[in-house]
Amino acid sequence: MIKVNDVSLIYPDGTKALKDVNLHIKAGELVYITGHSGSGKTSLLKLIMGMEYPTRGNVTVLGESIKKNNAGKIKKVRKSIGPVFQEFKLIEGRTAFENVMIGMRIQGIKPKLMKQKAHEALEKVGLGHKKLSKVENLSWGETQRVAIARAVARKPSLILADEPTGNLDYDNAVNILGLLKTFLDKDTAIVITTHATHLINEETNATFIRVDNGNIKIERGDLYHEEFSL
Ligand SMILES: Nc1ncnc2c1ncn2[C@@H]1O[C@H](COP(=O)(O)OP(=O)(O)O)[C@@H](O)[C@H]1O
Ligand SMILES: [Mg+2]
């Protein structure tokens, strides 16, 4: 599903955000990316999302290469990705339902089906009763649930969540991580960055990727990779 081979990402100002990273993620995998602030977690997700291109090496997502001159294919790949990113803010002045609908626009599906999917997604995240609330009137935890509903409504094969627990208190953070996990199935991979390692230490079936100053180390899940490597 995701192949990152010998990838370095150097920003125009010379910052080496990722250094010779190798990583394979398969369908059905739950991956936590941890590491200090500034270590390169978001950069790694942005590469996978096609928001940055590798300076060296190759990134392939759902069979398509993430590189310049491949924008058309990257756009197609994005239809199968559900992003929960701080950059993709909810639109204020619009309801939770409208925000989830907007998230599905790129898919080109019929309005009636879109509405049905938006309703389902909001029910699934436990916000059926807040569908018609303007997003600026929701709590942080609820806002994050709308962002998740927007990401999952299109039934993506890949869910990418960048610090989905940021700004949330302990209970809400645990709930959000638990909610994200409910979307895992054999055809779907979920990649979550977080610096809140204390919230995920209990996980046994997940892959842990630790990013440290642009280098990655797969701390758990190595066995999984050996058994199922391509
Ligand atoms: N657009 C950018 N231009 C230049 N440097 C950047 C850019 N985005 C991130 N960086 C730098 O790259 C490094 C990794 O950042 P980031 O991936 O955001 O880390 P994290 O998500 O782990 O906090 C940091 O040193 C950060 O300042
Ligand atoms: Mg980050």
Distances (CA, A) of 77 to 80, 81, 83: 6, 7, 12
- pLDDT, one tens digit for every residue, the chain (230 residues): 999 999 999 999 999 999 999 999 999 999 999 999 999 999 999 999 999 999 999 999 999 999 999 999 999 999 999 999 988 899 999 999 999 998 888 777 888 999 999 999 999 999 999 999 999 999 999 999 999 999 999 899 999 999 999 888 899 999 999 999 999 999 999 999 987 777 786 777 899 999 999 999 997 654 444 443 33
Task: Quickly count: other Cβ atoms within 10 Å of residue 82's Cβ.
Answer: 27
Q: Convert 119-155 to b/e letters by CB count within 10 Å (16 or more is b).
A: bbbbebbebeebbeebbeebeebbbbbbbbbbbbbbe
Among 11, 37, 195, 209, which residue has the most ligand 1 atoms within 8 Å of its CB, making it the best to mutate? 11
How do the domains of the chain map onto residue ranges? 2-80+157-228, 93-155
Select from 203, 197, 204, 198 the least CA-distant residue to 35. Answer: 197
Q: How far is CA 21 from the centre of its chain?
A: 18
Q: Which residues pair with 59 in a beta bridge?
A: 4
Indicate the burial class of 19 (C-beta count within 10 angstroms; 0-12, 13-18, 19 or more): middle
14 ligand 1 Cβ < 6 A: no
Distances (CA, A) of 120 to 2, 144, 154, 155: 28, 16, 11, 11
For residue 214, report the distance from its CA to the centre of ligand 1, in Å: 10
Q: Which CATH class is domain 2-80+157-228?
A: alpha beta
For residue 47, report the distance from its CA to the centre of ligand 1, in Å: 12
pTM of the complete model: 0.93
Ligand 1 atom with least separation from CA of 39: 22
* Cα–Cα distance for residue pair 119/95, rounded to 1 Å: 12
